[in-house]
Amino acid sequence: MKTITLYNGVQVPQLGLGVFKAAQGEETEDAVKWALEAGYRHIDTAAVYGNERSVGKAVRESGIPREDVFITAKVWNSDIRAGRAEDAFFRTLDNLQTDYVDLYLLHWPVEGKEYAWSQLEDLYVQKRIRAIGVSNFHPQHLEELMEQARIKPMVDQLESHPLMNNQELIDYLQANEIAVGAWSPLGGPQLPLLQHPVLLELAEKYHRTPAQIVLRWDIQRNIFVIPKSTHRERIISNSEIFDFELAEEDMERIRSLDRNFRVGPDPDNFNF
The catalytic residues are 49
- The residue (of 15 and 129) whose beta carbon lies closer to ligand A2P is 15
Residue 190 burial by CB count (10 A; 0-12/13-18/19+): exposed, middle or buried?
exposed
Q: Report the nearest approach of ligand A2P to the CB of residue 182 (Å).
A: 9
- The reply to whether 187 sits near ligand A2P by the rule CB under 6 A is yes
- The residue (of 251 and 263) whose beta carbon lies closer to ligand A2P is 263
User: Which residues ranging from 1 to 20 are in contact with ligand A2P (CB under 6 A)?
Assistant: 18
Among 217, 115, 132, CA closest to 170: 217
**Choices 38-46, 96-104, 184-192, 239-247 (CB under 6 A): range interacting with ligand A2P:** 184-192
Q: Report the nearest approach of ligand A2P to the CB of residue 259 (Å).
A: 16
- The residue (of 34 and 117) whose beta carbon lies closer to ligand A2P is 34
Please name every residue paired with 246 in a beta bridge, in sequence order, or none if there are none.
Answer: none
Residue 234's identity, in one-letter code, is R
User: Which residues ranging from 217 to 256 are in contact with ligand A2P (CB under 6 A)?
Assistant: 227-231, 234, 237-238
Q: Please name the residue ranges forming H helices in 1-136.
A: 26-38, 52-62, 77-81, 85-96, 113-125
Cβ neighbour number for residue 41 with a 10 Å cutoff: 18
What 3-state class would DSSP assign to 116?
helix
Helix 139-146 and helix 113-125, axial crossing angle in degrees, nearest 10: 70
112 touches 83 (CB < 8 A): yes
- The reply to whether 185 sits near ligand A2P by the rule CB under 6 A is yes
H/E stretch holding 70 reads: strand 70-75
- The residue (of 81 and 234) whose beta carbon lies closer to ligand A2P is 234
Give the binding-site size for ligand A2P (rule: CB under 6 A). Answer: 18
- The CB-side HSE value for 24 (13 A sphere, CA atoms) comes to 11
* DSSP conformational letter for 84: -
Q: Report the nearest approach of ligand A2P to the CB of residue 62 (Å).
A: 20
Among 132, 3, 30, 155, CA closest to 75: 132
- The reply to whether 95 sits near ligand A2P by the rule CB under 6 A is no
- The residue (of 1 and 194) whose beta carbon lies closer to ligand A2P is 194
Q: Report the nearest approach of ligand A2P to the CB of residue 212 (Å).
A: 7
Q: What would the x/- binding string for ligand A2P be over residues 151 to 180, using CB under 6 A?
A: ------------------------------
Q: Report the nearest approach of ligand A2P to the CB of residue 151 (Å).
A: 29
Taking the C-alpha atoms of residue 113 and residue 261, their distance in angstroms, rounded to an integer, is 27
- The reply to whether 188 sits near ligand A2P by the rule CB under 6 A is yes
Q: What residues line the site for ligand A2P (CB under 6 A)? A: 18, 184-189, 194, 209, 211, 227-231, 234, 237-238
